[in-house]
Amino acid sequence: MLIVGIDAAAVEAALIDGRLSCPGCASDLRPWGHSVEREVRLLDRSVDRRFRRSICRACAATHVVIPEDTLLRRCDGVEVIGVALTAKSKGKGHRRIARDLDRPDSTVRGWLRRFAFMADELREHFTRWAHAIDPVHDRLSPGGSAFFDAVDAVGVLGIVGCGRDWPWSDESEYGQPPAQIPACGTTALGSYLGCERRSARQDRDAGC
Ligand SMILES: [Zn+2]
């Protein structure tokens, strides 16, 4: 699986040109058909999508290429789950969030539990990449819980990475192309949470 931008034409061109890398061995990926169409639920509508599939020239592994506003094995898009994560980090319970989003309690509880289970790992991952992109940024503000700090770290990466071209082609000091950054959380989620974070900071600075 590889998460890329939402511009299908640009992704197709990148695949054809060999500019997307295999998550397993970093060799070039090539187009390899499409996945079965499935529904993706957004905040105000649902859309049907078929994802591009790719194959690695070196190891022959196949990978679904997923646009960054979608999450693997989740029926709901990033903008929906982003709302839930933000609400939870602000103290709302899963039933209230489920009611606000018009989703089943069990679905929302599943998102939050999974994120909470991986909170430390996510915070570390996104913090590391934020520093890799901008070593002098000073945007972290620990909030007293692992969940909040993980949400904050994703948002910080969204802010730090804002306006940059994805994927990049240079090798990083972490031994894998920065193009693989979105594969563990998506830049769209980072952008969404980054916007939320900026709003919260503006509210705080304004004394709200
Ligand atoms: Zn490979």
The reported pTM is: 0.73
CA of 36 to the centre of ligand 1 (A): 22
Mean pLDDT of 130-152: 79
Mean pLDDT of 198-203: 57
CA of 55 to the centre of ligand 1 (A): 8
Q: What is the pLDDT of residue 128?
A: 83
Range of the domain at 118: 2-205
Mean pLDDT of 178-184: 38
CA of 196 to the centre of ligand 1 (A): 36
Is 169 a residue whose pLDDT tops 50?
no
Q: What is the pLDDT of residue 9?
A: 85
CA distance 67 to 62: 16
Contact criterion met (CB below 8 Å) for 126 and 161:
no
What's the CA angle centered on 149, arms 143 and 153, to 5 degrees? 130
What's the CA angle centered on 195, arms 171 and 133, to 5 degrees? 20
Q: Residue 99 — very low, low, confident or very high, per pLDDT cuts 50/70/90?
A: very high
Q: What is the pLDDT of residue 202?
A: 55
Q: What is the pLDDT of residue 162?
A: 61
Mean pLDDT of 125-132: 81
Alpha-carbon distances of 100 from 41, 43, 80, 125, rounded to whole Å: 15, 11, 11, 30
C-alpha 77: how far from its chain's center? Answer: 10
Q: What is the pLDDT of residue 98?
A: 97
CA of 180 to the centre of ligand 1 (A): 13
Q: What is the pLDDT of residue 131?
A: 81
21-61 per-position pLDDT tens digit: 888 888 889 999 998 888 999 988 999 988 899 999 999 99
The DSSP bridge partners found for residue 4 are: 67
For the chain, what is the domain count?
1
Q: Chain-wide mean pLDDT for the chain?
A: 77
Q: What is the pLDDT of residue 174?
A: 34
CA of 156 to the centre of ligand 1 (A): 30
CA distance 47 to 41: 6
CA of 24 to the centre of ligand 1 (A): 5
Q: What is the pLDDT of residue 19?
A: 83
